[in-house]
Chain A
Amino acid sequence: MLGSAANKSSYDSDHHHFKDHVSEHRLFKRRVVVSLLLLLAALLVLILRFHTLQIEQYEDYVTQSDNNRLQVRPIPPNRGLLIDNRGRIIAENKAIRTLSLVVERVDDLDATLKELSELVDISTRNTENFQKALKWRRRPYEPVPLKFKLSDDEVARIAVNEHRLDGVELTGQLVRYYPYHDLFAHVLGYVGRIDEREQGRFDEKQKQLYAGTQSIGKIGLERFYEDDLLGLVGQEKIETNARGRALRAVDSLAPQAGNDVELFLDIDVQKKAAELMQGRRGAVVAMELETGGVISMLSAPSFDPNLFVTGISSKDYRGLNENLDLPMFNRAIQAQYPPGSTLKPMLGLGGLENKIISEYSRVRDPGWYQLEGDDRLYRDWKKGGHGHEVDLYKAIVQSCDIFFYDLGHRMGVDLMHAFGEYFGLGERTNIDIPNERRGLWPSKEWKRNVRGLAWYPGNNLNMSIGQGDVLATPLQLAAMTVAMANQGKFIEPRLAKRVAGKETTKVVRSVYKGEQKNWDLVYKAMKDVVHSPRGTAQVLNKKLKFTMAGKTGTAQVVSIAQEGEYDSEALSERNRDHALFVGYAPVENPLIAVAVVIENGEKSSKAGAVAKGVMAAYLQNIHPLEFADVE
């Protein structure tokens, strides 16, 4: 066949057969026309296809194209600062370098991680957190942090090798830094990495707000003022190529830094409190009378909140968590102690105001008190008692228990409860940090509902000396003392003076207007607790260059057996009495009130000494013109 086509005549085509050229040509032309029609149909198909893609589905594909090329990167805002009452920064932001991986650009993740671990020290914890972070809250091409806080040396080692480590990124970022370390730990709280649980709780708006932000206020002021401190996230539209490399910023919206929070807290006063509480467990709260501002709030022992900022190591965490001294426990607002005798001035005033007693009421104190029809002896802390003629003044100055047993017995729980409420007992003070405990200021209803028991007459006696079921936080005691020193005006304590430059609102919860002479009696007694030679805190008036008033207290940690003797040596250290002191200064024109609890401190005068030091620091530093040299 091929051979026949190959000879010359085949071109002329009529060698073998008769050929009808006309009909053949016509046939060909028909086929060409058919071809043309098919071809036009095919063209039409193509054009319709492109019409569908380019005209009908245009919007859809433009979106996809933009999604392809544009990556919206959030720019986290700078967190607002926390500033003390004299403008000094106590929580700031510090630049750190972070080693991150853009997983999409890494060829072999395991190999890269291995290589990195040869360059810098990468702990198993780093790797664990990294793997965890890979699993949640991630957009494609978003760098996932592997290690925070690289040293200059590590940064250099990475930088030198970066060219051959695809997907490895060194990024700078600002993280929270607490320059005073453990000094303000409990009150400031700290920020920590946003964890899965928090992430899960975020609503859509929060998800947006926290885009690009690694950390969130966990406790303390950082948590309470989170919304103010956080700021507004900015964003940057970055054009990226198919491999995710950023080419240029197309559009950006600057972030808005968080608002600063100016506090009443004073670094010098806090330092003094910390110094005096060194080596002790307990709490100090100092408040300004005029404003209700908290000048010092200390819980001892403390910890360094910087440990938490980029994620605390399990070793550090275990160290804090398993410490018997509970360094992470904020004793100032969460520890509930029996307030003991610190309640006496307030209850004494209540007795006067309710006409249960008068300034002339006298009680005989043989060292014990007995209720009618009750065998139990209610003892005075002083063996042998305070004598035959104990009045309210003496009962406060010398902290006579028998006088108050009698008062409590006659007032009854209802009156005591109602009066104590004016001074904030049993209720949260509503301070501006979270997790405050409410203490316990018993009532008949409480006992029936919670304990399922009736209120016994003996309960009145315990309540009258701040024992039994009564519990209060150091903050409540400070707030009560403010109300006492302020002639009955209860101001809710607050830490923030100004947020975003705007004054916070002072909240006066209640005002108890008592008779002036009653106030004067109580004030005189409280002053003489310190200034009289018979006062329970008279040791404080040595070299005292300002006047202070107050009340000591001791709180039993274990009940002493009925006939038992208190023997501190025999008790283990942790079973010894708590030492308490509440007070204010200066007496003539009260400016500051302080409450101090030293756990197992035994001698309330130790607590008084702390209060005295804090008051002195306050007067000297905050009112330097009047109190240049109080110490």
Chain B
Amino acid sequence: MSSSSDFLRQLPDSAAHFSRAESFWRRIHIDPVLLLLLLLLTGFGLFALYSGSGQSLAVVKRQLAFYFIAYCAMFTVAQLDMKLLCRWAPWFYGIGIVLLILVYIVGVQAKGAQRWISLGFIRFQPSEVLKIAVPVAMAAYFSSRMLPPKLKHIIAALIIVGLPAVLILKQPDLGTSILIAASGLLVLFLAGLRWRYILGSFCLLGASAWPIWNYVLHGYQKQRILTLFNPEADRFGAGWNTIQAKIAIGSGGLNGKGWLNGSQSQLDFLPESHTDFIIAVLAEEFGFVGVVALLALYFAIVSRGLFIAWTAQTTFNRLLAGSLILTFFVYIFVNVAMVGGLLPVVGVPLPLVSLGGTSLVTLMLAFGILMAIATDTNKPSN
């Protein structure tokens, strides 16, 4: 590393200079700050879940089991050598695409969508793989290119992102498709995509809104968007969730009704109260204070993630860490905005809090990668 007045430069750059405690965490590839924040969040999540599930201990136990698996996955992935991950990135990505195509051929249908592959004992959603594979592939791609990227590289990158996004959109799974696209595009952004391209694409997006509305979106998706603007139009149908969530949130007030005292959630007015809409439970029972506390906790996690990206030693590490943590925030934003009635209802769970196995494991894999990056001892070659 070159000498510089930049404060990062003042950090020790070799394991030999780390304190004993730090070197311990480095050796087991755990970022203690991130771990503590995650433990706080998941612990908090259990309380919310107990309430949101109608005080079901069974649900809490199930989630505990998921947490256990997810933490194990995180610790395992944290051990990964980033050099290897970068090298394997194309394979990883390729397998993901193959799986997505397989979904069309042997996929299991449920609720009008074909998203799963059945392995007999377990159902498996290939799009989850792409949530990691796409940013990894993008980071790997740009790590070997000159940055900021040139137009041909941008186009190549768009193909890397676009292929899985379109495949997933067709399942159909708009929410996941957007999130995966976001994770890839965030790499492009962090790689230094020129502002003129960014502004240009926003203009393009604005211009294509009409054809997207008419030719791309499914009827139910349009309905959800329309419902957002006028939930009363379909009080007991599509609008029900939005209305009831708003009532739950609003009636929580500043301090909330108290844990397990939320009438909206405890009396079944709020659907999906332990999955996608769990923040409404939280907002009702812990009030504005609780919501702000939760967002602060998320912000702390994201900050820590950005710090890891900031201090990462290689381009691959930086781009990947930045993308993963920003995608994590996108999840949070989409879920909270959706429940709060700012965005249409798309099936995005509240990260690490909503009940659910797959998304939890995927997220924790991402945090495992972040920890691997945080504790990566590979040095960039100059």
Interface residues in chain A, defined as those with a beta carbon under 8 Å from any beta carbon in chain B: 1-17, 19, 21-22, 24-25, 27-29, 31-32, 35-36, 39, 42-43, 45-47, 49-51, 53-55, 57-58, 60-62, 64-65, 68-69, 239-243, 247
Contacts and interface: CB of A to CB of B under 8 A. Distances in A.
A65 B263 contact: yes
24 contacts: A1-B156, A4-B144, A5-B140, A7-B87, A11-B86, A11-B314, A13-B143, A21-B380, A27-B148, A27-B192, A31-B191, A32-B190, A35-B186, A35-B189, A39-B326, A46-B342, A47-B291, A53-B341, A54-B253, A58-B253, A60-B250, A65-B247, A239-B263, A242-B267
B315 interface: yes
A69 B262 CA distance: 11
A50 B144 contact: no
A6 B90 contact: yes
Interface residues of B, number: 71
Contacts of B269: 68-69, 241-242
Contacts of B123: none
Please report whether the interface of chain A is mostly helix, strand, loop or mixed according to DSSP.
helix
A46 B295 CA distance: 9
Contact of B302 (A22, A39, A45, A58): A39
B147 interface: yes
Q: Which of B2, B156, B340 has the most CB of A within 10 A?
A: B340
Contacts of B144: 4-5, 9-10, 13, 15-16
B292 A47 contact: yes
A242 B269 CA distance: 5
B2 A22 contact: yes
Contact of B190 (A12, A28, A239): A28
A241 B93 contact: no
7 shortest interchain CB distances as A-B pairs: A61-B250, A65-B251, A10-B144, A241-B267, A54-B288, A2-B90, A242-B268
Contacts, number: 188
Interface in B28-68: none
A53 B306 contact: no
B249 A53 contact: yes
Nearest to B140: A5
Contacts of B124: none
B314 A35 contact: no
Given A32-B306, A46-B340, A68 B247 contact: yes
A241 B268 contact: yes
A25 to B, nearest CB: 8
Contacts of B310: 29, 32
Contacts of B145: 17
Given A6-B89, A61-B251, A53 B263 contact: no
Given A54-B287, A58-B253, A68-B267, 20 more contacts: A1-B156, A8-B83, A13-B315, A13-B316, A17-B145, A19-B146, A21-B315, A22-B2, A27-B147, A31-B189, A31-B322, A32-B190, A46-B342, A53-B249, A55-B288, A61-B251, A64-B250, A64-B251, A69-B269, A242-B267
B268 A243 contact: yes
Given A4-B144, A12-B381, A61 B337 contact: no
Given A35-B306, A39-B302, A50-B291, A8 B87 contact: yes
Nearest to B307: A32
Identify the interface centre among A19, A25, A69, A247: most chain B CB within 10 Å of its CB.
A25
A158 B257 CA distance: 40
